[in-house]
Copies of this chain bind each other. A is one copy, B any other.
Amino acid sequence: MTVLVVGSIALDSVRTPHGECSEMLGGSATYFSLAAAHLSPVNIVAVIGEDFPEDYRKRLAARNINLDGLQIARGKTFRWAGTYAGSMNEASTLKTELNVFEGFDPVLPDHYRTIQWVFLGNIDPELQRKVMSQITGHRLIALDTMNFWITGHRESLLDTLKSVDLAIINETELKMLTGEHSIPKAAMAMTRLGPRTIVIKRGEYGCILFHEGSWFCVPAFPEPNVVDPTGAGDSFAGGFMGSLARSGSADYLSLKRAAVMGSVMASYNITSFGPWRLAELQPDDIARRFTDFRDLVTL
């Protein structure tokens, strides 16, 4: 089954202790799609500017990714620049140029409207609702968000949350949203805002799935060579949703397997600048790493 993703496509300039890259293909929808496409077809809704490199568009189209929902707007593509230092757990943003992303108005092509597995990337909660209003039926709607919307557009975000099935959110933002210091309490509080299922991203500590009173934990892969964490959360979400769509089910076992698959994708993504390592994974790489994740916790 197909996954629908709405999010950003960007040109990223990133510096880490291991090097740097400039005007690299990035954005939440990019990392999400390149991860999910290993598992199921992906349909993108996003916007790029007239300056978007044709090579990047081609490299997306060459995957299992439908670009009928990709708008080309007058102006420049969204650009982000950031650095990571020390343990690289958090990016310091150097520059955010929204450009065409500022006026993004997500419109779903007709053949996107019946897609069953929907991921609302980290965009204005009002736009997330606008996407939901165009969907004519779904199995599962998941959402990501960030501090900017939590603090500045809280009511709008709460309104969106009421209608989603699952939230993929990082630990700090979960605490910020719920006002709880304790992750278990925060996850329980979050389910009272709408989503039945919460997936908490914890960076180098892995992730936690909370579903109907049950907890499932996935450690991060002990990768000694983390080169660039950019896109880790989005490639996690892509692996997660791609896995669910492939299984055709959102039962607890499928959710657990999805959390591991998301972790597999993120673990590869962080070993290089940009999305190419992720994009070029082979089925064997994925299967082997999935087994490695099981071995990490098996007595």
> Does any Cβ of B come within 8 Å of A256's Cβ?
yes
Q: Given A182-B87, A294-B299, A297-B216, do A222 and B208 touch, yes or no (CB 8 Å)? A: yes
> Does any Cβ of B come within 8 Å of A204's Cβ?
yes
Flag if A185 contacts B260 (CB, 8 Å).
Answer: no
> Does any Cβ of B come within 8 Å of A283's Cβ?
no
Residues of B within 8 A of A217 (CB): 206, 219, 222, 296-297
Cα of A202 to Cα of B217 in the assembled complex, Å? 14
Kindly provide the distance from the CB of A292 to the nearest chain B CB, expressed in whole angstroms: 9
Cα of A204 to Cα of B183 in the assembled complex, Å? 9
Question: At the interface, is chain A mostly helix, strand, loop or mixed?
Answer: mixed
Residues of B within 8 A of A206 (CB): 205, 217, 219
- Beyond contacts A215-B296, A260-B299: 17 other A-B pairs, Cβ-Cβ < 8 A, are A87-B181, A87-B182, A88-B181, A182-B224, A183-B222, A185-B224, A187-B222, A188-B224, A205-B205, A214-B295, A215-B222, A216-B296, A217-B297, A218-B297, A253-B299, A257-B299, A294-B299
Chain A residues at the B interface, C-beta cutoff of 8 Å? 86-88, 175, 181-185, 187-188, 202, 204-206, 208, 210, 214-219, 222-224, 226, 253, 256-257, 260, 294-299
